[in-house]
């Protein structure tokens, strides 16, 4: 019957081949499915004999003379009785390495014509008499890795016979690929096929996750295949220990390595549900073992790292999944994809982003296998041809990442094949090291829970925890803010300290305004402080500042501190209800305000001082400095910020934290007495502290913009120029507002941008027109800013930089373990900037301020910011978003939970969900790329009444 069907017969494709055939139709130019073998021949080559050798191989192996075509709408394969070998020999004597590499790539990438063949080509590049590069390239549809091994095994026998023209002593081919296709079809329609399908359906039938490994570059919208390989090895001792673990746990080294790799992926992604593909030989029956063709079949190995099990228990789970997969490996992956229909995503391959492959050398094939590892190895005699592995620098892969592990002669070899559009070689080198440290950690204590196993080398750990946190700098830790100011008053009593510009729309002279010299400002503040002391204000008491942006506000601020009290800013633009919540929580001794604001206050029983109204009493007070009653360890201010339970929480900041902060800012970004800082930020935002205190302790000038000006880009631009500002700090929204109003930048201006992530486009516009632009990062709880970064023009996210003086930053996983460079972790802050905690909320304070696990000093704490971040290789930190429900909108920090709680207090609302939506294209301001808004969804208590 075989004879009758003859060599011209058409045969259907296997499932794997069908998938490849369709992919080829979609992208005939793609070389993602080209397979290859490359070797250096370091002996003389009988070129005609070599060519005859490959012709003999093609004559023997039907798969090498098969073409693929459509027949009645179905792809079929056709085996031809003869196919001429595609063999070319080229002199490469004059080529340098780069040219050789280019020519090899050219040959690898050259598309195959599946319809007309040939599906394999042979190239020999001769460099010298005993130096040639032999390259075999074949389409995957015709042959897989094991097929190459079969071919090389036969080459070893055939080549000598072609040299002396004797006959080939190989047994005739008994089985061929069409036998496999027939077997596969029958098997799938049998009960075995149904049982395999049931198994995979159960494994993969539910919500398949996408693995989001942290990449060095954003994922291209359409999947690419550019790749490279990083090779590493695991020493013999560790390999033996791993083997021992496999033995005591009654499993295989394959399972141990797979479990370790899945742990690594879990640690890199923080995703508990990990899918990894693993290629199986796919040669369902022993008689297919020496057949050339496309057999290899992917199985999906799914592991659940949830609940953070000890490694040993996890290994048990993985090894059960692995033996299940091995038992059910004959189910074609292509068919699985077709039947389970995972959501199509053109940026990824279906189901799987990562592959794991484990090979042990079967005796007899050891010397051949080494050629496929991409590493320089030992020369091997192939019937007189001396071949040695020739690593090709570039490779293509279907996956984001693949780990090939090979156990040979007692040691483990690893190769990470990765997509170079996503990853850098340095990232892969680090990953390989982490894998080794992890393996070491596993054998040292296999009972360790997955998230606590070590990843970092000692060197890396030292770099992350110590070197990058080495920020000591002297600062006057015992002094208070107002003392630093008083020292400056003595230095420059007659210099102008502060300007409050006149209303530009009314003023005749544009640079007109109220001003105070250092001495005047200090004397007014002293008078207020003396008066406050008379009212019982002093250390340990609180003064509310409910003041419009004005000179009074600054006098009030300094007067409060001089009296020894801490201030609480109360924003006149806040709704009464919110102010009421703050007044309920904070026991104020005195409220400082202005007459015109009195109506905005909620009902209260407070002692009120109105700066204008009580002008005469104040004027009678002494102008002399007060005896200082406070030190660095007294409170400077309490700042209320949104609370997730529906109530704002008061962050308590001591003088020492602010003094350290200012000392650091004075050096970098830097401020001197020659500077004029244009202040725009409301006092209820802690960053106003930089704008008011920093100039006043260095002798610079503050220009205080009115609330009206701050909200109007055009006026802001005019005043910035009129007053010769050299520094301004603002949120990205305010910078955006300025640019939208037509402001064209300012060559002498140092621009500080912070409070939320600075969009790249905004940054580049500022960088192009300002003297310098800084990214400022920090939560209220660690005093204003904790990390800064001098921005540069470019692309991609802008880092938040490095910790400021006497500040430590740690990026940790859920188990407080430091995450490696490039891997996201939660950002924790330690050091001199830490708040005492939240006013009267010991439980919340204990939750957010944890004992510092990296400090030998008792009592040291870390603040959990809830921000997600990662290190760049050079140590700059990249902000990645939030791990919770806190959002920033136009610089305002909000807990969505606070708004939800407020909505639910309404009698008509049963349930509420609030989200911050980033809708592109906004009708109101078309030039803004995106505008974040709060959107609330509610379920009402009852149906709306009929009209
Ligand atoms: P706040 O307490 O109002 O200063 O808010 C602190 C939070 O604002 C941080 O935890 C971050 O989520 C965010 N934030 C502050 N500055 C930046 C920045 N430069 N880049 C990104 N996010 C920032
Ligand atoms: Mg902040």
Q: Which is more confident, 642 or 351?
A: 642
For the cut 70, the answer to whether the pLDDT of residue 1 exceeds it is: no
User: What is the overall mean pLDDT for the chain?
Assistant: 92
pLDDT, mean of residues 191-219: 92
Percent of the chain with pLDDT over 90: 81
Pocket test residue of 867, 886, 890, 892 for ligand 1, highest count of atoms within 8 A of CB: 867
Ligand 1 nearest atom to the CA of residue 651, by list position: 2
Q: How confident is the model at residue 923 (pLDDT cuts 50, 70, 90)?
A: very low
| Cβ-contact 76, 70 below 8 angstroms | yes
Ligand 1 nearest atom to the CA of residue 787, by list position: 19
For the cut 70, the answer to whether the pLDDT of residue 245 exceeds it is: yes
763 CA → ligand 1 middle, Å: 16
Measured in residues, the chain has a length of: 947
755 CA → ligand 1 middle, Å: 4
Pocket test residue of 774, 778, 826 for ligand 1, highest count of atoms within 8 A of CB: 778
Q: How far apart are CA 554 and CA 704, in angstroms?
A: 9
Q: How does 748-760 read in b/e, with b if 16+ C-beta sit within 10 Å?
A: ebbbbbbbbbbbe
Which residue from 570, 647, 577 is spatially nearest to 898, judged by alpha carbons?
A: 647
For residue 396, what pLDDT is reported? 66
Q: How confident is the model at residue 931 (pLDDT cuts 50, 70, 90)?
A: confident
Ligand 1 nearest atom to the CA of residue 687, by list position: 4
Q: How far apart are CA 385 and CA 408, in angstroms?
A: 23
Rg from Cα positions in the chain: 36
Ligand 1 nearest atom to the CA of residue 685, by list position: 3
Residue nearest to atom 23 of ligand 1 (CA): 756
- DSSP reduced 3-state for 678: strand
Q: How far, in Å, are 547, 637, 650 from residue 569 at the CA level?
A: 8, 8, 11
pLDDT, mean of residues 752-766: 96
Q: How confident is the model at residue 325 (pLDDT cuts 50, 70, 90)?
A: very high
Residue 613 CB-density burial (10 A; 0-12 exposed, 13-18 middle, 19+ buried): middle
Q: How far apart are CA 224 and CA 397, in angstroms?
A: 9
Q: How confident is the model at residue 6 (pLDDT cuts 50, 70, 90)?
A: very low
879 CA → ligand 1 middle, Å: 9
Note the ligand closest to the C-alpha atom of 781: 1
Residue nearest to atom 20 of ligand 1 (CA): 757
Note the ligand closest to the C-alpha atom of 776: 1
865 CA → ligand 1 middle, Å: 9
Residue nearest to atom 4 of ligand 1 (CA): 779
737 CA → ligand 1 middle, Å: 19
For the cut 80, the answer to whether the pLDDT of residue 921 exceeds it is: no
Note the ligand closest to the C-alpha atom of 829: 1
Tell me the two tokens of residue 24: 């080829």
pLDDT tens digit sequence for 505-524: 666 666 778 999 999 999 99
Which residue from 226, 191, 173, 203 is spatially nearest to 65, judged by alpha carbons?
A: 173
Which residue from 468, 475, 430 is spatially nearest to 854, judged by alpha carbons?
A: 468
Ligand 1 nearest atom to the CA of residue 882, by list position: 12
Residue nearest to atom 9 of ligand 1 (CA): 779
784 CA → ligand 2 middle, Å: 4
Residue nearest to atom 7 of ligand 1 (CA): 779
Task: Please spell the DSSP secondary structure of 232-243, one letter per residue.
Answer: EEE-HHHHHHHH
For the cut 60, the answer to whether the pLDDT of residue 468 exceeds it is: yes
Q: How confident is the model at residue 926 (pLDDT cuts 50, 70, 90)?
A: very low
Note the ligand closest to the C-alpha atom of 690: 2
For residue 504, what pLDDT is reported? 66
Q: How far, in Å, are 48, 161, 887 from residue 164 at the CA level?
A: 12, 5, 79
Q: How confident is the model at residue 349 (pLDDT cuts 50, 70, 90)?
A: confident
The torsion angles phi and psi of 379, rounded to 5 degrees, stand at -70, 150
Pocket test residue of 888, 889, 892, 896 for ligand 1, highest count of atoms within 8 A of CB: 888
404 CA → ligand 2 middle, Å: 46
Cα atoms in the Cβ-side hemisphere of radius 13 Å centred on 141 = 31
| Cβ-contact 679, 719 below 8 angstroms | no
Ligand 1 nearest atom to the CA of residue 775, by list position: 19
887 CA → ligand 1 middle, Å: 9
Residue nearest to atom 21 of ligand 1 (CA): 757
Q: How confident is the model at residue 140 (pLDDT cuts 50, 70, 90)?
A: very high
540 CA → ligand 2 middle, Å: 24
Tell me the two tokens of residue 80: 């031809």
Q: How far apart are CA 852 and CA 694, in angstroms?
A: 29
H/E element, 580? helix 576-585
Residue nearest to atom 1 of ligand 1 (CA): 779
For the cut 90, the answer to whether the pLDDT of residue 378 exceeds it is: no
Which residue from 356, 299, 293, 283 is spatially nearest to 333, judged by alpha carbons?
A: 299
For residue 88, what pLDDT is reported? 98
593 CA → ligand 1 middle, Å: 29
Q: How confident is the model at residue 395 (pLDDT cuts 50, 70, 90)?
A: low
For the cut 50, the answer to whether the pLDDT of residue 746 exceeds it is: yes
For residue 376, what pLDDT is reported? 58
- Any residues with Cβ below 6 Å from ligand 1, and which? 641, 754-757, 775-780, 800, 865, 867, 879, 882, 888, 893
pLDDT tens digit sequence for 313-324: 999 999 999 999
For residue 374, what pLDDT is reported? 54
Residue nearest to atom 6 of ligand 1 (CA): 779
**Helices vs. strands in the chain: H and E counts, helices first:** 27, 41
Pocket test residue of 687, 779, 798 for ligand 1, highest count of atoms within 8 A of CB: 779
Residue nearest to atom 12 of ligand 1 (CA): 867
Give 371's strand partners: none
pLDDT, mean of residues 939-947: 74
890 CA → ligand 2 middle, Å: 13
638 CA → ligand 1 middle, Å: 18
Q: How far apart are CA 417 and CA 401, in angstroms?
A: 6
pLDDT tens digit sequence for 704-726: 999 999 999 999 999 999 999 99
Task: State how far Cα 864 lies from the chain centre.
Answer: 18
pLDDT, mean of residues 378-405: 84
784 CA → ligand 1 middle, Å: 9
Q: How confident is the model at residue 394 (pLDDT cuts 50, 70, 90)?
A: low
pLDDT tens digit sequence for 585-622: 999 999 999 999 999 999 889 999 998 899 999 999 99
Sign of the dihedral through C-alpha 211, 212, 215, 221: positive
Ligand 1 nearest atom to the CA of residue 753, by list position: 19
754 CA → ligand 2 middle, Å: 8
Q: How confident is the model at residue 348 (pLDDT cuts 50, 70, 90)?
A: confident
893 CA → ligand 2 middle, Å: 9
For residue 4, what pLDDT is reported? 37
| Residue for token pair 């483990």 | 412
Residue nearest to atom 22 of ligand 1 (CA): 756
Residue 814 CB-density burial (10 A; 0-12 exposed, 13-18 middle, 19+ buried): exposed
924 CA → ligand 1 middle, Å: 26
Q: Cβ neighbours of residue 63 under 8 Å, at least 6 residues apart?
A: 119, 142, 143, 147, 176, 177, 291, 292, 293
pLDDT, mean of residues 837-866: 96
Pocket test residue of 756, 775, 791, 809 for ligand 1, highest count of atoms within 8 A of CB: 756
779 CA → ligand 1 middle, Å: 5
Ligand 1 nearest atom to the CA of residue 892, by list position: 3
pLDDT, mean of residues 681-704: 97
Ligand 1 nearest atom to the CA of residue 886, by list position: 12
Note the ligand closest to the C-alpha atom of 752: 1
Q: How far apart are CA 258 and CA 324, in angstroms?
A: 14
Residue nearest to atom 5 of ligand 1 (CA): 779
Pocket test residue of 828, 893, 896, 932 for ligand 1, highest count of atoms within 8 A of CB: 893
For residue 683, what pLDDT is reported? 96
661 CA → ligand 1 middle, Å: 16
Residue nearest to atom 3 of ligand 1 (CA): 893
For residue 323, what pLDDT is reported? 95
Note the ligand closest to the C-alpha atom of 886: 1
Percent of the chain with pLDDT over 70: 95
For the cut 80, the answer to whether the pLDDT of residue 792 exceeds it is: yes
Q: How far apart are CA 832 and CA 656, in angstroms?
A: 7
């Amino acid at each position: 019957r075989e004879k009758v069907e003859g060599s011209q017969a058409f045969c259907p494709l296997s499932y794997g081949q069908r998938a490849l055939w369709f992919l080829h139709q979609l992208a005939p130019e793609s070389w993602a499915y080209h397979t290859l073998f490359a070797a250096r021949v370091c002996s003389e080559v009988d070129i005609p004999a070599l060519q005859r050798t490959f012709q003999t191989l093609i004559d023997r192996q039907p798969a090498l003379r098969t073409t693929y075509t459509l027949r009645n709408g179905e792809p079929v394969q056709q085996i031809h009785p003869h196919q001429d070998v595609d063999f070319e020999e080229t002199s490469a004597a004059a080529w340098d390495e780069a040219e050789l590499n280019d020519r090899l790539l050219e040959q690898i990438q050259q598309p195959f014509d599946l319809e007309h063949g040939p599906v394999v080509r042979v190239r020999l590049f001769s460099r010298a008499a005993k130096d040639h590069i032999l390259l075999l390239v074949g389409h995957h549809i015709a042959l897989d890795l094991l097929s190459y091994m079969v071919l090389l095994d036969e080459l070893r026998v055939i080549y000598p016979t072609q040299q002396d023209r004797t006959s080939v002593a190989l047994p005739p081919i008994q089985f061929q690929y069409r036998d496999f296709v027939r077997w596969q079809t029958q098997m799938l329609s049998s009960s075995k096929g149904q049982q395999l399908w049931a198994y995979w359906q159960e494994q993969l039938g539910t919500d398949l996750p996408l693995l989001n490994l942290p990449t060095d570059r954003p994922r291209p919208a359409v999947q690419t295949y550019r790749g490279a390989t990083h090779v590493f090895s695991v020493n013999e001792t560790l390999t033996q220990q791993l083997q021992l673990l496999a033995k005591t746990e009654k499993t295989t080294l394959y399972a141990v390595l797979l479990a370790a790799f899945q742990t690594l992926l879990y640690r890199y992604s923080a995703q508990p549900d990990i899918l990894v593909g693993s290629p199986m030989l796919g040669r369902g029956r022993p008689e297919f073992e020496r057949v050339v063709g496309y057999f290899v079949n992917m199985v999906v190995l799914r592991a659940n790292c949830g609940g953070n099990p000890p490694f040993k228990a996890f290994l048990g789970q993985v090894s059960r999944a692995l033996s299940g997969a091995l038992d059910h490996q004959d189910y074609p992956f292509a068919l699985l994809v077709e039947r389970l229909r995972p959501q199509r995503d053109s940026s990824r391959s279906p189901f799987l982003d990562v592959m794991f492959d484990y090979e042990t050398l079967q005796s007899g094939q050891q010397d051949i296998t080494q050629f496929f590892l991409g590493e320089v190895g030992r020369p091997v005699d192939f019937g007189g041809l001396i071949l040695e592995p020739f690593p090709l620098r570039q490779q293509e892969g279907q996956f984001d990442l693949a780990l090939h592990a090979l156990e040979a002669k007692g040691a483990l070899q690893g190769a990470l094949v990765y997509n170079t559009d996503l990853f850098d070689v340095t990232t892969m080198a680090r990953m390989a090291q982490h894998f080794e440290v992890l393996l070491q950690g596993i054998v040292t204590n296999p009972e360790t829970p997955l998230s606590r196993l070590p990843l970092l080398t000692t060197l890396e750990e030292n770099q992350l925890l110590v070197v990058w946190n080495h920020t000591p700098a002297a600062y006057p830790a015992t002094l208070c803010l107002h003392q630093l100011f008083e020292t400056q008053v003595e230095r420059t009593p007659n210099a102008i300290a502060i300007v409050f510009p006149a209303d530009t729309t009314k003023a005749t002279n544009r640079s007109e305004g109220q001003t105070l010299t250092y001495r005047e400002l200090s004397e007014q503040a002293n008078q207020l402080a003396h008066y406050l002391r008379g009212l019982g204000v002093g250390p340990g008491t609180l003064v509310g500042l409910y003041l419009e942006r004005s000179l009074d506000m600054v006098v009030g601020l300094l007067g409060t501190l001089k009296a020894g009290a801490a201030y609480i800013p109360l924003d006149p633009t806040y709704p009464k209800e919110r102010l009421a919540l703050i007044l309920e929580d904070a026991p104020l001794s005195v409220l400082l305000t202005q007459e015109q604001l009195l109506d905005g206050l909620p009902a209260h029983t407070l002692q009120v001082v109105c700066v204008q109204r009580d002008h005469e009493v104040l004027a009678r007070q002494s102008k002399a400095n007060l005896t200082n009653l406070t030190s660095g360890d007294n409170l400077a201010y309490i700042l209320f910020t949104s609370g997730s339970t529906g109530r704002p929480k008061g962050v308590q900041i001591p003088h020492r934290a602010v003094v350290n902060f200012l000392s650091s800012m004075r050096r970098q970004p830097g401020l001197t007495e020659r500077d004029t800082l244009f202040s725009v930020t409301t006092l209820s935002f802690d960053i106003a502290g930089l704008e008011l205190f920093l100039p006043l302790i260095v002798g610079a000038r503050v220009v205080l913009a009115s609330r009206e000006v701050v909200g109007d880009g055009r006026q802001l631009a005019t005043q910035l120029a009129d007053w010769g500002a050299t520094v301004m700090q603002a949120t990205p929204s305010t910078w955006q507002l300025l640019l939208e109003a037509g402001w064209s930048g300012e060559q002498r201006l140092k621009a500080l941008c912070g409070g939320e992530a600075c969009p790249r486009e905004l940054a580049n516009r500022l960088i192009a027109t300002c003297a310098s632009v800084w990214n400022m990062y920090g939560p209220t709880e660690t005093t204003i800013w904790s990390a800064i970064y001098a921005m540069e023009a470019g692309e991609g996210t802008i880092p938040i930089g490095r910790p400021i003086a006497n500040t430590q930053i740690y990026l940790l996983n859920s188990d407080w373990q430091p995450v490696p460079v490039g891997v996201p972790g939660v950002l924790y802050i330690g050091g001199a900037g830490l708040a005492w905690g939240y006013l009267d909320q010991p439980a919340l304070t204990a939750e957010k301020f944890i004992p510092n696990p990296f400090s030998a000093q008792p009592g040291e704490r870390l603040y959990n910011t809830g921000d997600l971040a990662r290190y760049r290789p050079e140590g700059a930190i990249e902000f990645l978003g939030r791990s919770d429900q806190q959002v920033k909108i136009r610089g305002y920090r909000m807990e969505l939970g606070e708004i939800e709680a407020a909505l639910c207090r309404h009698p008509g609302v049963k349930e509420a969900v609030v989200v911050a939506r980033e809708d592109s294209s906004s009708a109101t301001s078309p030039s803004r790329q995106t505008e974040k808004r709060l959107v609330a969804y509610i379920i009402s208590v009852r149906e709306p009444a009929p009209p």
